[in-house]
Chain A
Amino acid sequence: MSLLKIDGISKSFGGLKAVDNISFEVEEGTIHALIGPNGAGKTTLVNMISGIYSVDVGDIYFNDEKITNVPTHKLVNKHIMRTFQNLEICENMTVMENILLGFNINMNKNLLKCSFQFESILDDEEKFTHIALSHLKRVGIEEHAYTLCSDLSYGILKKVEIVRALAINPKLLLLDEPVAGLNGTETAEIAEIIKEIAAQGVTVLLIEHDMKMIMGISDNITVVNFGVKLAEGTPEEISSNPAVIKAYLGEGSLHE
């Protein structure tokens, strides 16, 4: 069953067509990778899916429901979460506070109740703090739970963003270059985490450059270049597709 359906979407910035009539579907419970050279339009695509950019033409469907141009924060209610290529972490807050933000839609935010420290607010805090700690433990960073994010390394913050996105048990998780800038060990850790996430039923749409990781964990791959879909298929099909090899894989990155 296709959970996410991208139907002929296009977007231009001024005179530049960043995304040109792209369509593909993401099957539920799979890890679907979106690959292509820099500037191919991948992030634009993800930004359109997650409501950050508007769609010029075409539609996006989630669970057969049209979600084209639905603003980002409303998509969260549908349990669509994402991470960011350039890390959107709250630096002046602790890891725990960032994770607790992930639980936002499940929390009571009534200002009056917050001002007077109602029992319900305090109970929520305790409950979600426990859950957050167990999530942090699973990715191995619970020791940093109460550290300020501005004091932590990039690699750890990448994990924090993923944990934040997982807090509400999303149905669809969009990961925008989750291992960009990480070393081999860190990359392998993240790859494991993504596999675990998928194993628990979360559908993952993954943008990445790291071909080894992509080939290792993806169920399906969509290749884009210059805003246009180039190819689609399983890792085996893609790695033997001549057009793809010529445009992208041929640059030697397969052997990293």
Chain B
Amino acid sequence: MENKGLFLDRGIVLTIIVLCVIPFLLQNSFHYEIAIMCMLNAVICIGLNMLVGYTGQISLGHGAFAGLGAYVAVILSTTYSFDPVLSILIASVVLAIIAYFISKPILKLEGHYLAMGTLAVGIIISIVLTNEDHLTGGPDGMGVSSFHILGYVFENDIQWYVLSAIFLVFSIWALQNVVNSPFGRILRCIRDSETAAKAIGADVPYYKTYVFVISVVIATVAGSLYSYYTGFISPEESGFMRSIELVVMIVFGGLGRIYGAVIGAIIITALPQFLTFLHDYEHMVFGAIIIFVMIFMPKGIVSIFDVLKYEKKKEIKKDNS
């Protein structure tokens, strides 16, 4: 609405600036790993948010899709020596097809049933990945070949940082455009009232499937990049806890808010790293934080900014009256 015609709005500019400044604060490889993990998770979350936050379809199985997609890409380039970029492309197509066929029956479900259905699909995928060890290397995982784009090899942290940052900025920008566009409006309409969406001529199942497939493809690309970066992949990445983690990220940050997905991803990714000093208490504290936020900030962390804006509006109104 407001950023009609503006190529880059304030949020994106701020994001780019922050992303340029951060490398000066990162002191070692471990810090870089966290930053890159945060960014790639944020990309997955942006896609997932499109499905869950904007279209109102819960998915508790996205970790599995990200993992499966990564496995396809990684197996192609490592075991069969395909070019990595081509591998990711093929993986995207394969996952798009799988997601398409799964979405047809699954997205007919609603609410809790949809949650359980996606959960079940995710767990089944994860079990298959763990068991088919002749392909996947089994529960111990497998090493991953190096990553290069047209011969340019990505082998140090800075390169990966820049690549991830570019993906992130692009994803934010694209999603922002979609949200305020006719396509995005239909998604939000589906979330608020499927009947209204039908009444204005939208083929609801078509859009649900469309968004589902897109979110899976995004997860595939980001998930694959992450595996190439770490040089390793294991079935953990497709597990139930990973799927839950992704949903926690978007709910924690703020469902249906672009930066909610990003902030949520960053906090949930980075937080455990800072809690390691707590050693075994890490999970307790993590669980407690989730509970706290869900009770007191059910609309997510981003809602703090809403409160601030609302308070400011009240002040302005008071001044004017």
Contacts and interface: CB of A to CB of B under 8 A. Distances in A.
Interface residues of B, number: 32
A102 interface: yes
B203 interface: yes
B204 A73 contact: yes
Contact of A90 (B7, B193, B204): B193
Interface size class of A (residues with CB under 8 A): 35 or more
A122 B5 contact: yes
Interface in B232-286: 256
Interface in B149-201: 174-175, 177-178, 181-186, 188-189, 191-193, 195-201
Given A93-B189, A104-B200, A122-B5, A115 B174 contact: yes
B4 A101 contact: no
Nearest to A117: B177
A13 interface: no
A81 B199 contact: yes
Contacts, number: 108
Contacts of A57: none
Contacts of B186: 101, 104, 109
B172 to A, nearest CB: 11
A151 to B, nearest CB: 12
Nearest to A146: B1
A124 B191 CA distance: 23
Nearest to B203: A73
A114 B197 CA distance: 18
A202 to B, nearest CB: 16
Contacts of B189: 90, 93, 101
B198 A100 contact: no
Contact of A93 (B192, B202, B203, B204): B192
A141 interface: no
A248 interface: no
A105 B201 contact: yes
A76 B214 CA distance: 26
A121 interface: yes
B171 to A, nearest CB: 10
A74 B198 CA distance: 8
Nearest to A164: B200
6 contacts: A77-B201, A88-B196, A90-B192, A100-B182, A109-B182, A124-B182
Interface of B: 1, 4-5, 7, 174-175, 177-178, 181-186, 188-189, 191-193, 195-204, 210, 214, 256
